[in-house]
Amino acid sequence: MTLLRGRGYASVNYPTGMNLGGDPSQALIHATTMGAFVISLSSVDLGQGLKTVVAQCAAETLGMPMENVIVDTADTDTGPHCMGTFASRGTHRVGNAVIMAAREARDVMLAVAADELEVDAGDLETDGTGFVRLKGSPETKIHIADITLAAHFKQGRTISGRGIFLKERNYPVPETGEMDPDSCQAHACTVAEVEVDDETGVVTVLSLHNAYEIGRALNPAMAAQQVEGGGWMGVSHAVFESTEPYYPASRDHGPVDFCEYLMPGPAEIPVQSSVILERPASNGPFGAKGIGEMTANAPIPAIANAIFDACGVRLTTMPFTPESVLRGLDALRA
């Protein structure tokens, strides 16, 4: 028995959003009487952190603390329209829509504050702590709670805003095939190190080293978690999961619960290191691109290339099972 080690590389680029009949997302925002800002969305947070990121976008645009922002992901009956949480579009599409809504609400907020302070709205700024103040004269200021109370009960105004970001449908040029199907593209490279047992055919993924260019990381900690969680999924697809081996009759033959369905456990999770590269996108919210789905892509071909480097077997069908490795080794020996 020999344990063979190999290293493989793979690079990917991944589009942000899609090109169907247009790709829109809408956002609404309004201030409560006590100075909170409620963002209404139909976009769904699947656990990837969308609510956190859009709250950051709103807080930054409004110039208010993030604690003052409430994100309400209602449903498609009561919330503004959204195409959905897929295609790595959430941060880009929804973030842009929230920024547009927050800008509109900020203009009203400054107008109300200007009336209360008896100054021009163009001479006001936010300090990030909840106050609107006069430029060059920071002692002349008013708190957001007092602004919203004045708006509701004194001035009879609604501090609110609407935003919609639309990626319009794009058609190919018949002569060249040229088109603009997405808004921007993120890029990634993964280096995988594996160990292959030439007696049993078992592949062990030892480590993944990732570099991701995602425009701008609005929340670096969550971006790193997305990369490493996607790396786990990539390992799972590469050497464990056989999603529909007997389609369409999978219920008769395939796994029916998670006791039978193979996925990596804690002992199979490889060591990971991740680097985030920032090249801001001109049309992204504060330069951000989509990072969601692509994180599971690069590890798979990187692992396949590492297996080839280790033992010379080129595998092209997932999962890379011990049987497929042993058959490949037999073919090489023959």
Tokens of residue 11, six digits: 């690079």
Q: Where are the domains of the chain?
A: 3-16+183-333, 23-167
Place 48 in a pLDDT band, splitting at 50, 70 and 90: confident
More confident residue, 110 or 79: 110
- Kindly indicate whether the domain formed by 23-167 is annotated with CATH number 3.30.365.10: yes
At which residue do the structure tokens 């078992």 appear?
A: 202
Q: How far apart are CA 150 and CA 246, in angstroms?
A: 65
Q: Own/partner pairs for 111-119, CB < 8 Å, 24+ apart?
A: 111/157, 112/147, 112/148, 112/150, 112/151, 112/155, 112/157, 112/159, 113/142, 113/147, 115/150, 115/155, 116/142, 116/146, 116/147, 116/150, 117/141, 117/142
Q: How far apart are CA 30 and CA 195, in angstroms?
A: 56
- Kindly indicate whether the domain formed by 3-16+183-333 is annotated with CATH number 3.30.365.10: yes
Residue 100 has pLDDT above 90, yes or no: yes
Percentage of the chain exceeding pLDDT 90: 74
pLDDT digits (tens, 9 = 90+) for 148-180: 999 999 999 999 999 999 888 889 999 999 988
Task: Please indicate whether the domains covering 3-16+183-333 and 23-167 agree at the CATH topology level.
Answer: yes
Place 77 in a pLDDT band, splitting at 50, 70 and 90: confident
pLDDT digits (tens, 9 = 90+) for 247-304: 666 566 666 777 777 888 888 899 999 999 999 999 999 999 998 889 999 999 999 9
Place 82 in a pLDDT band, splitting at 50, 70 and 90: confident
Q: How far apart are CA 216 and CA 277, in angstroms?
A: 8
Q: In 3D, which of 182, 191, 201, 202 has the Cα closest to residue 302?
A: 191
